[in-house]
Structure 1
Amino acid sequence: SSDLICNMLYLIYGEDSYRSRKKVREITDRFYAVAGARESAVRLILPESSREELEQVITTGSLFRKKRLVVLEDPSEAAADVAGYLEERVKMLAASDDIFVVWDRSVNANTGILASVARGATKIQDAKRLGAPGAARFLEEEAKERGIALGAAAKKRILADYAGDSWHMMQELEKSALSGSLPDYDTKGTAMVNDQPDQMLFTLQDAFGLGERTKAWCLYHSLIRLGMESEKIFWRLLSSARAIASVGALMQSGAAAGDMPRLLGMHPFVVKKAAFAASRIPEQKRGHTHTALCLLDFEIKQGRGDLSLGLERILLSL
């Protein structure tokens, strides 16, 4: 978090928008941890903004905090007067007490407004398309972060089909979590985990699936206090919601319970738990929860949502 104590002008750009967006989220999360209030952060999509709006954001400090985080998106697509004003202010941004992050999906930062930002930037990150070794490391890190035990065959398949395309790699990793890359279970159907936070996370998944709002809310905040990332919790809850929705649809179609693990490619105990939840939650409610999580996922990937606040909103709607 030392990056966020001193002033900083950070340029993040490149072809791989998933990884570059993730870097922006990491910076934002670290800033929130230091600043302690989301009112200190500002995000401006420059192609949708006027010169006056940009000027107001840049020149207006926070009334409540000594430091702000300002994220400026897609300057290369901005109107000429907006890009021109930003170019004029690059030196001022670099010397400001605030933290400025310029994010752009452009591949090249050697021309135009990005070149001007790069010359004044404290740090620059180019999210280039990953080569084979980098893609393998990225996939392993993402699987570990999500708590997914990715088998060698699944890893080989994902890298063969999608190496370099991190967005689709993550989609396939998600599918892998639903098709067998899950914790082992003992004979009583209890997840075999080694530490309390993981056990609490499984309990949260159960409470979430059954719509137990108070229990799910308390468990979620307990896990956050224990240091678990909200992103890991999100992926687990999305996996649970998808499993419940899929099993519920098969139940409605009249599929035999014994055939469901094979049809869905899921662990039999996961199917059993999903069926238990699906039988106790109305179809409309199941669909609403699953849709809400998918929409949040889409918003985050587009950089238009807040993961922690979105999760809290969904938990409160149970």
Structure 2
Amino acid sequence: MLYLIYGNDWQKARAKAREVLDVLKKKKPDATVVSLEEGGVSEAKIDELSGSQGLFERKFIVFGDRVCADSQNAEIVADKLEVIGKSENVFVFLEEGVKAPLLKIFEKYAAKVQEFAKIEKKERFNSFSLADALGERNKQKLWILYQAALSEGLSPEELHGTLFWQVKSLRAAAIAKSADEAGLKPFAWTKAKRFLSRWDIKELENVSQNLVSLYHDSRRGEHELEIALEKWILDLPV
């Protein structure tokens, strides 16, 4: 019988290998636990441990700890996986990485193949980039970022809030004489003042009113916010 446990989440993979070995030891208390690397990897050694050769019948639980990391060992193991898979003795291989051709052979003869891969944390979409695109009055960029934000799972309500915050900040910066008076942090104040070169106060008032109406209309069921917000972006004057 053959098991393969592998993956780049090494801590979880090794913990699973220990768990499997502990279960096997309880199920097969008469079996001798052997580490394959202790005697080296060879066809003769694998034949001996698999029970395909030898005058005396012995029960083994064989643990191979990253033996296939060595290319020569991997070739020997690949040639013997069919024999190992049919053996009454149990072989547990723990590998960090397994090349595709070898993995395919493991999958053919193993009772179980289990991968533990690290889940890479994806950076959350930066909604401030959406606000910046509106401030820059860049309709194409704004639409692209809007679609990207939706694909990342951000809700239309959240995106509407980000856009409304930007418009509110721009209006505040247009009237106030300082960041404190506008209720903005210095960095946001500086950006808002820069963006104001592309807007006038009347335009900002109209945009603000449209966003408010758009939101309340969606709440009343007159349209879906996601679609209405996209149309609002496409209709935005440049």
Give TM class, smaller chain: 0.3 to 0.5
What TM-score comes out, normalization by structure 2 length? 0.44
Higher RCO (C-alpha 8 Å, min separation 6): 2
